[in-house]
Structure 1
Amino acid sequence: MSDFDFPDDLLAAEREAWAAIQAGTLTPELAGAVQDRLTAYAAEAGVDRHRAEMALKRAVRHPKG
């Protein structure tokens, strides 16, 4: 379980990016949009962006682990 309370829009964006990665269709625009939203979330929440990014990836890519 994550120590972060990610907003639904950020989780949805990361899920979309992960699906695009798996399909080989990730665009720089989508990757940038997810990164921008993650950076904004980290600033708003007052947390380390890198830790938040790793937790977000775990939450999306390994939801049961």
Structure 2
Amino acid sequence: MADIDFPDDLIALERSAWTEIQEGQLTVPTALAVQQGITTFAETSKLDRIAVGMGLKKRVRHPKPAA
């Protein structure tokens, strides 16, 4: 999968969700906002929604080490 250029606001949403998940307190509004953001971004970018979601999670949860 090629690297996707995610918008900063979508990355911020996923970071918020990941923080809530790690704290055991993921809320429905946060999860819904992330999913809506993924769907909107995928549609406007003409990318597969599943690939966008997986790529976003990978980017936030497993970032590449700084070079």
Q: TM-score by structure 2 length?
A: 0.91
> 1:64 Cα deviation (Å)?
1.4
User: Amino acid of the residue matched to residue 64 of structure 1?
Assistant: K
Aligned sequence identity (%): 52
**Does 1 or 2 have the higher relative contact order (CA < 8 Å, sep 6+)?**
1
Structure 2 alignment gaps of length 5 or more: none
Runs of 4+ in 1 over 3 A off after TM superposition: none
Structure 1 alignment gaps of length 5 or more: none
2:26 matches 1:59: no
Structure 1 or 2, whichever has the larger Rg, is: 2
Q: TM-score by structure 1 length?
A: 0.93
Q: CA RMSD in A?
A: 1.2
